[in-house]
A and B are shown apart, each in its own frame.
Chain A
Amino acid sequence: MIKNKKNTILGFCALAALFLVLFVLEKLLPTGSMLFVVLKKGAIYALVAASMNLLNGFTGLFSLGQAGFMLIGAYCYAIFTIPVQHRDAVYQYFDGGLIQFTVPVVVALIMAGLAAAIFAALIGLPVLRLKSDYLAIATLGFAEIIRAIFQWDALGPLTNASNVLRRYPLFSSTLFPFIVAGICIAIIVLLINSSYGRAFKAIRDDEVAAEAMGINLFKHKQMAFVISSFFAGVGGALLAMYQTTIQANAFKSAMTYEILLIVVIGGIGSISGSCIASFLFIACSEWWLRFLDAETYIGAFKVPLLRSGFRKVVFSIVIMAVVLFYSKGLMGDKEISFQGISGFIKDPFGLVSRRKKKTEGVHIDG
């Protein structure tokens, strides 16, 4: 118990330090720096990946509907926050749209989550009875249906049909997505470590046993599905803020696949893994591998292959390598802990402990 408390305090200190560093960085570096792009987008993807991990990694429900729930969240946020004076310009084909009021940003974020959650609750009833890959394809299907509905002309006064939504409030500081995503991920972690989180894992490990031990399968699956969708909705709203404009057509299944790959790279069943992986993923795709897209000359020699699009090829090969050779991902199902970090510093590749285990084994046998 004391150890636990110490860890909590350490955790808070680390978080405080992180925010301080961010704050200082924002003051020091130019605002256009790639670092901030990565940090903002990374934080948003971390939240969405964590929400997907809650469902796929901890409850064992293979759902591919994440993009659809993000879309609902993004639209809900935008629809309720575009300032009234801009509505005529945004909804130019729909007489300024249906809704003529706005709500504060925080309220809109929560509404975005709730809208996604309510939709999840509605489709959960039929969909969650399906098993593994059928569930995957059905949720994927629902995401596609949502995408079509949001582009429907008849809903134009609300969704602006297939035109973009814009001019809603954005965030100016990198701290904003960090704080929102941080709170949401903290709640996900608390949930996972609670009695309900254990029930989710029991369902993942063995449904039959879970049900025989009194865990109501449908209720708990529905719960995981709705909560995961809530946070995907909030993530979608943050993404809308980040992108400055949104359009339903961008929320394709490719987006879900990207998030799924982040979850896999981080380790299915590890929230900290999802967070690390999302920053790495975004950093690689938006920043570190950019040089692969540029035609490069060393003296008069043109480096072969390098041209637009090569980055994504390399990137997908790396991802395939991870999927095939490190199927546990970066973290497996472990979480980052201070003991873990200090252990890693003392004994980076487990050489010492492996040796120690061996001698211990001998000791026991003898």
Chain B
Amino acid sequence: MDFINQNLPYILAGISVGGQYALIAIGYTMVYGILRLINFAHGDLFMAAGLIMIYLTASLPLYIAIPLDLIIIAVLGFLIERVAYKPLRNAPRMSIMISAIGVSYLLQNVALYVTGGLAKTYPTIPWISNSVTIFGATTKVVTLVTPVLTLILVVALVLLINNTKIGMAMRAVSRDFETSQLMGIKINTVISVTFIIGSLLAAVGSMLYFTNYTAVTPISGSMPGLKCFVAAVFGGIGSIPGAVIGAFLIGICENIIKGLGWTTFSDAFTFALLIVILIAKPTGLFGEKSTDKV
């Protein structure tokens, strides 16, 4: 009990960060499931969502800024796919991954240019920035809101994938790209929708994340981005529940490690976990095994 009392703030923070990671990880896992691409730019899109929000709230009220931010990020995600990934659809996998790295580099440099390299402070979103005290630990409302909101969004997404026509198309494309194309599925639409959903979730994630960690810099997206990818791999890439579970696990572990005073290793731990998983069970917790035909 003592242990829990001492570590409660860290566990709470872990659950909260985990939920935020989950929202980003879903973007990775969906894109990977369909295109077999590690979308390196996804983390930077998350950063961009934070920055754009800062600039929007400077001149617009929140109730306009929030939806506008979501729309801009969705459009940005859509454009990135159309401009940087679509032309390379038949190129080797390495090229499209390099293109993703290029987009990430571009987004970071644009952010650097716009901000002048200074950290910007994220606006305070009322209510979720308020402090609450639970079990003697003080935290922001966002900590409690995040897991709930994450679960609602995930359930909605799973329903969408299982019960709608576009969801069915997504499942088909992730199973077999070429056959789906032959069966008349408009894969470009499916891929665009996937990117838009992923981007929207990342934008929501950024609102929650930056309410907690208010400094936004051009590279604030890269480390969370990588961690979320790890979460997606951990859960078995392509599987949405897997990504969510992986994200919560990584969020909690990371914060407990911080709580133990090993802050230097909180990032390294994530990667150590990744390597262990890749070696022990390369397809992750919920991934499916695939074999090459000779």
- A–B touch (CB < 8 A): the answer is yes
Q: Contact residues of A with B, CB < 8 Å?
A: 56, 62, 126-127, 129-130, 132-134, 136-138, 140-142, 144-145, 147-149, 151-153, 162, 208, 253-254, 257, 260-261, 264, 268, 307-310, 312-313, 315-317, 319-320, 323-324, 327
> Given A126-B279, A130-B282, A323-B99, does the pair A152, B113 have CB atoms closer than 8 Å?
no
Chain B residue at smallest Cβ distance from A312: B109
In the bound complex, how far is the Cα of B272 from the Cα of A126, in angstroms?
Answer: 12
Q: Are B84 and A324 in contact (CB under 8 A)?
A: yes
Q: Are B38 and A327 in contact (CB under 8 A)?
A: no
Q: Are B268 and A134 in contact (CB under 8 A)?
A: no
Interface membership of chain B positions 107-141, coded 1 if the CB is closer than 8 angstroms to chain A and 0 otherwise: 01110111011000000000000000000000000
Residues of chain B within 8 A (CB-CB) of A316 are 102, 105-106, 109-110
Residues of chain A within 8 A (CB-CB) of B219 are 254
Residue from the set A162, A208, A261, A316 with the largest chain B CB neighbour count within 10 Å = A316
- Interface segment out of the listed B1-9, B145-153, B222-230: B222-230
6 contacts between A and B (CB under 8 A): A309-B109, A309-B114, A309-B117, A319-B102, A320-B84, A323-B99
Q: Is residue B93 within 8 Å, beta carbon to beta carbon, of the partner chain? A: yes
Q: Are B98 and A323 in contact (CB under 8 A)?
A: yes
In the bound complex, how far is the Cα of B109 from the Cα of A152, in angstroms?
Answer: 30
> Given A148-B268, A312-B112, does the pair A320, B275 have CB atoms closer than 8 Å?
no
- A287 CB to closest chain B CB (Å) equals 18
**CB interface residues, B 262-276, toward A, < 8 Å:** 264-265, 267-268, 270-272, 274-275
In the bound complex, how far is the Cα of B230 from the Cα of A143, in angstroms?
Answer: 14
> Given A136-B97, A142-B271, A320-B103, does the pair A309, B264 have CB atoms closer than 8 Å?
no
Q: Are B94 and A324 in contact (CB under 8 A)?
A: no
Option from A56, A141, A261, A310 in Cβ contact (under 8 Å) with B271: A141
- B98 CB to closest chain A CB (Å) equals 5
Q: Are A312 and B97 in contact (CB under 8 A)?
A: no
Q: Are A140 and B226 in contact (CB under 8 A)?
A: yes
Residues of chain B within 8 A (CB-CB) of A309 are 109, 112-114, 116-117
> Given A142-B275, A144-B271, A323-B102, does the pair A152, B233 have CB atoms closer than 8 Å?
no
In the bound complex, how far is the Cα of B267 from the Cα of A316, in angstroms?
Answer: 27
Q: For chain B, what secondary structure do more than half of its interface residues adopt (helix, strand, loop), or is it mixed?
A: helix
> Given A144-B267, A148-B264, does the pair A130, B94 have CB atoms closer than 8 Å?
no
Residues of chain A within 8 A (CB-CB) of B226 are 140, 144, 253
Count how many pairs of residues, one from A and one from B, have CB atoms less than 8 Å apart in the complex.
122
Residues of chain A within 8 A (CB-CB) of B101 are 257, 260-261
Q: Is residue B184 within 8 Å, beta carbon to beta carbon, of the partner chain? A: no
Q: Are B230 and A141 in contact (CB under 8 A)?
A: yes
- A4 CB to closest chain B CB (Å) equals 32
Residues of chain B within 8 A (CB-CB) of A261 are 98, 101-102, 105
- B97 CB to closest chain A CB (Å) equals 6
Chain B residue at smallest Cβ distance from A325: B87
Q: Is residue B91 within 8 Å, beta carbon to beta carbon, of the partner chain? A: yes
Q: Are A145 and B103 in contact (CB under 8 A)?
A: no
In the bound complex, how far is the Cα of B116 from the Cα of A228, in angstroms?
Answer: 37
Closest 5 CB pairs of A and B: A141-B271, A148-B268, A309-B113, A312-B109, A316-B106
Q: Is residue B179 within 8 Å, beta carbon to beta carbon, of the partner chain? A: no
Chain A residue at smallest Cβ distance from B265: A148
Q: Are A132 and B99 in contact (CB under 8 A)?
A: no
Q: Are B222 and A253 in contact (CB under 8 A)?
A: yes
**CB interface residues, B 1-55, toward A, < 8 Å:** 36-38
Q: Is residue B278 within 8 Å, beta carbon to beta carbon, of the partner chain? A: yes
> Given A137-B38, A141-B274, A208-B294, does the pair A319, B105 have CB atoms closer than 8 Å?
yes
In the bound complex, how far is the Cα of B106 from the Cα of A144, in angstroms?
Answer: 22
Chain B residue at smallest Cβ distance from A154: B264
Q: Is residue B60 within 8 Å, beta carbon to beta carbon, of the partner chain? A: no
Residues of chain A within 8 A (CB-CB) of B37 are 133
- A170 CB to closest chain B CB (Å) equals 28
Q: Are A313 and B103 in contact (CB under 8 A)?
A: no
Q: Is residue B88 within 8 Å, beta carbon to beta carbon, of the partner chain? A: yes
Q: Are B272 and A145 in contact (CB under 8 A)?
A: yes
> Given A137-B233, A142-B271, does the pair A62, B278 have CB atoms closer than 8 Å?
no
Option from A147, A268, A317 in Cβ contact (under 8 Å) with B106: A317
- B289 CB to closest chain A CB (Å) equals 13
Residues of chain A within 8 A (CB-CB) of B112 are 309, 312-313
Residues of chain B within 8 A (CB-CB) of A149 are 268
**CB interface residues, B 190-238, toward A, < 8 Å:** 219, 222, 226, 229-230, 233
Residues of chain A within 8 A (CB-CB) of B84 are 320, 324
Q: Are B97 and A145 in contact (CB under 8 A)?
A: no
Q: Is residue B188 within 8 Å, beta carbon to beta carbon, of the partner chain? A: no
> Given A144-B268, A145-B271, A310-B113, does the pair A134, B104 have CB atoms closer than 8 Å?
no
Residues of chain A within 8 A (CB-CB) of B104 are 257
Option from A129, A136, A153, A310 in Cβ contact (under 8 Å) with B279: A129
In the bound complex, how far is the Cα of B84 from the Cα of A354, in angstroms?
Answer: 31
Chain B residue at smallest Cβ distance from A310: B113
Residues of chain A within 8 A (CB-CB) of B278 are 130, 134, 138
- B258 CB to closest chain A CB (Å) equals 13
In the bound complex, how far is the Cα of B99 from the Cα of A257, in angstroms?
Answer: 11
> Given A148-B264, A253-B222, does the pair A313, B109 have CB atoms closer than 8 Å?
yes
Known: A312-B113, A317-B106. 19 other contacts (CB 8 A): A62-B97, A140-B271, A144-B267, A145-B272, A148-B268, A152-B265, A208-B292, A254-B219, A257-B105, A260-B101, A261-B101, A261-B102, A309-B109, A313-B109, A316-B105, A316-B106, A316-B109, A327-B88, A327-B95
